[in-house]
Amino acid sequence: MPLIPGYEYGPLADGHAYLDDPLFWPVHLGSCLRGEAAEEAAFGADWDAAMELYRTLSADHEWPVFSVPLRSGHILYVVYRNLDGEWGVDYLVHHPSWPSAETLAVDDGHFMGPGMAWHELAGVAGQSVSRHRCRCPAAASLSHPRRRGPAR
């Protein structure tokens, strides 16, 4: 069972095995898109199967946790918080010198940040694409620093 200093909630379980499931990404990143049509256009997933995985990820008996080490020595934790009636995804950051992890962002029907800046998101360059994608919903800004002109 993963331990997150200061995060004393729920039955945490290592969720890294889900990262190889192609249906994980439509489920995890789906909160960034509005509507099933947008999700289908982005991922082309089998939505019945994706919803079955969603039910597995949001089961109250096990809270999947993903950890992403950052170059700075910090660790980003992504926790599927499965409280009855209060489901959400918590993004926490911890450094070994800190007594407990700090909440970076929460996605539970609405986003609460501060989130991460693009240079912080880039702090895991060289790691697997799966770990990099896990952090995307924690981005504080949808505007990439290299983007020019208005968003379309």
- pLDDT, tens digit, 9 for 90 and up, residues 104-134: 888 886 655 555 565 555 555 455 444 444 4
pLDDT of 100 reads 96
For residue 99, the model assigns a pLDDT of 96
H helix or E strand, kind and range, residue 13: strand 12-14
Scan for tokens 């240079």, then name that residue: 119
Q: Which is nearest to 90 in space by CA: 69, 117, 71, 63?
A: 63
- CB-based contacts of 60, cutoff 8 Å, min separation 6: 10, 82, 83, 84
Q: What is the reported pLDDT for 97?
A: 96
